[in-house]
Chains A and B, each alone.
Chain A
Amino acid sequence: MGRRVSVAWMNLLHERTRLLVAIAGVAFAVLLIFMNLGFLGALTATTTNFYEQFNADLFLSSPETLEVSTTTAFPRERLYQAEGIPGVSRVMPLYSGYVLWRNPDPPHTSRAMFVWAYNPDDPVFLMPELETPSARRILQQPNVVFYDLRSRPDFGSSEIGTVTEAARRQVTIGGNYSLGGGFAADGTLIMSDQNFVRYLSPRPLDLVDTGLIQLTPGANPERVVRALEQALPADVDVYTKAGIMLRDQTYWISSTSIGFIFGLGVLVSFVVGIVIVYQILYTDIRDHLPEYATMKAMGYRNRYLFQIVLQEALLLAAMGYVPGLIVSLGLYELTLNATAGSLPVQMNLSRVGFVLVLTILMCSVSGLISVRKALSTDPAEVF
């Protein structure tokens, strides 16, 4: 009994149909924002999540390399030079490139497949399928590759023993692993460096795409990075794992249109939300102009009307956000399933909070635009 009558709440509840349309509108805007951020987040994750599977502490890469699938090779000597630095226990060259993969199933279309290649004796990856001695033996066989189970189904059968063509050479799937190629690659293969030379001929092995460095236990990574930077010429950069992940993420988000597209998507959804909420609030204010003017005649200040409109805006924000979040979670799940896990769209707490803030901001802006109508009512005009 001791509380103010919530005019905002009662006004919203009074027009049920309008309220439902408003909630649907806000929820739709929230959903669009979540999907855009979800794709952006998934992109960021996919560009870097395979780095988690690299069995290395530091990375060497050419300064001209944009991200891991767009590399400029550097001389293998850099790795041998790095091997002499205190704290470095092992160096491993990693080669990468694209081959044209022929779908073993009809209609036998060919698509670019991303290839990782290394010396099978080096423990480059952490995937358990690649760590067994038999897997190493299979990798060493000529024209035999391991096939990524998270490649898109369009590449055809992933079954072990499947025979098809890569770069016009016969190839046999000798094993499987699960890694994923993110946005850069729809499918990936792993092969030995000897096979790499065959499939990507003429590609000499003394030019390396990415250098992998393992540290001795207890070595300080920062100190080794500094030592490497001093010892190595300017044709290679030294990264920690987090550093090279950041480089790739930054590339995808800022140097390609992808970050721009999703950023624009968020902006457009935000504006759509503002327009929807503005329309609803404006109509509501217009319908209640005599009442608002009466309140001003009674001695209410503009601040009170301001509060009513802002409260309506915030209530709409809250009521639209919740269904928007729930549907987004469903669509995230759907996207995850539709892309067979290769596009890891995942909700996280900071995004939940960020979009909530955006929603509140969106509705507040609409409230601020539409409230002018209520504030400008002249109480002398109601007579």
Chain B
Amino acid sequence: MVATISEQNSVSVAKELAIKIEHLNFYFGTGELRKQVLFDISLDLPKGQIVILTGPSGSGKTTLLTLLGALRTLHEGSLQVLGKEIVGLPDKALIPIRRNIGFIFQAHNLFESLSASQNVETSVELTRNIGEKRQLAVDMLGQLGLSDRVDYKPNALSGGQKQRVAIARAMVNRPKIILADEPTAALDKASGRDVVTLMRHFCEEAGTTVLMVTHDNRILDVADRIINLVDGRLESDSDLETQTSRIS
């Protein structure tokens, strides 16, 4: 009886949370060279929240991001992404989980040989929605203000435009979670601002959870919540929006 109730409880909690982390530890290396980089992290990210992760370099921000993105195998603690436990999963089982997550990198990582639309289409192809992929890609680029650039190669686009193509690629499949690592680092103030405003706009609309690592103080105001990580431990966690409901 008790077990059933707690199970039901955990299912309902999982429905509300995009990411649930409990007592997560992570190490690099093995044997004598083993070095712990994340210490006992517990964190809940509700759906639709925009979270900025800050901290000095070497604090483990990017490592945490790659763990949430199911890019590394995990052994200690608990990490549920969209209700699915990924601690202990082998690399192969992580691949389908990545498809629910949009990644935005510091570098745009676009194929120079493909047009903006084709770069976005490579993402749509993962969903087997191949018949409409061109339409979906063009719509997404249009919403990011790139309607007149859909058939341009990355070489012919500015830095901000390239980053917006990368964002279109991450968002075209309407992922439930977006993980971004310094998305504005390579951009000037105005384009950086544009890029995060667009991201915020879309994520609010689609109820997407965003976790963004950044050093860029100019964009902190887009966040609902700011988490500070120091030496692999959660240092501070501040809600900027009082109406954001946190489930504990």
Query: What's the interface size class on A, roughly?
Result: 20 to 34
B114 and A298 contacting across the interface, CB-CB below 8 Å: no
Q: A5-B125, A294-B103 are in contact. Are A380 and B113 (CB under 8 A)?
A: no
Q: Which of A1-30 contact B (CB under 8 A)?
A: 1-5, 7, 10-11, 13-15
Q: A1-B134, A5-B125, A383-B181 are in contact. Are A297 and B111 (CB under 8 A)?
A: no
| Shortest Cβ gap from B38 to chain A (Å) | 13
- Determine the chain A residues whose CB is within 8 A of the CB of B169 once the complex forms: 298
| Shortest Cβ gap from A294 to chain B (Å) | 4
Q: Which of A42-59 contact B (CB under 8 A)?
A: none
B66 and A4 contacting across the interface, CB-CB below 8 Å: no
Q: Please, how many angstroms separate the alpha-carbon atoms of A7 and B134 in the complex?
A: 15
Q: Does B31 contact A (CB under 8 A)?
A: no
Q: Please, how many angstroms separate the alpha-carbon atoms of A172 and B69 in the complex?
A: 93
A290 and B109 contacting across the interface, CB-CB below 8 Å: yes
Q: Which of A331-380 contact B (CB under 8 A)?
A: 378-380
| Shortest Cβ gap from A302 to chain B (Å) | 9
Interface string of B99-133 (1 = CB under 8 A from A): 10101011101111110001001110110001101
Q: Does B29 contact A (CB under 8 A)?
A: no
A1 and B131 contacting across the interface, CB-CB below 8 Å: yes
Q: Please, how many angstroms separate the alpha-carbon atoms of A293 and B66 in the complex?
A: 13
Secondary structure dominating the interface of A: helix
B66 and A294 contacting across the interface, CB-CB below 8 Å: no
Q: Does A295 contact B (CB under 8 A)?
A: yes
B98 and A299 contacting across the interface, CB-CB below 8 Å: yes
- Determine the chain B residues whose CB is within 8 A of the CB of A295 once the complex forms: 122
B109 and A383 contacting across the interface, CB-CB below 8 Å: no
A383 and B66 contacting across the interface, CB-CB below 8 Å: yes
A291 and B118 contacting across the interface, CB-CB below 8 Å: no
Q: A298-B103, A300-B126, A383-B181 are in contact. Are A5 and B112 (CB under 8 A)?
A: no
- Determine the chain B residues whose CB is within 8 A of the CB of A169 once the complex forms: none
Beyond known contacts A294-B109, A300-B95: 14 more, CB 8 A cutoff = A1-B131, A1-B134, A2-B131, A7-B113, A14-B112, A290-B109, A299-B95, A299-B96, A299-B99, A301-B95, A379-B98, A382-B105, A383-B66, A383-B106
Query: Which B residues are closer than 8 A to A by beta carbons?
Result: 62, 65-66, 69, 71-72, 95-99, 101, 103, 105-107, 109-114, 118, 121-123, 125-126, 130-131, 133-134, 169, 181
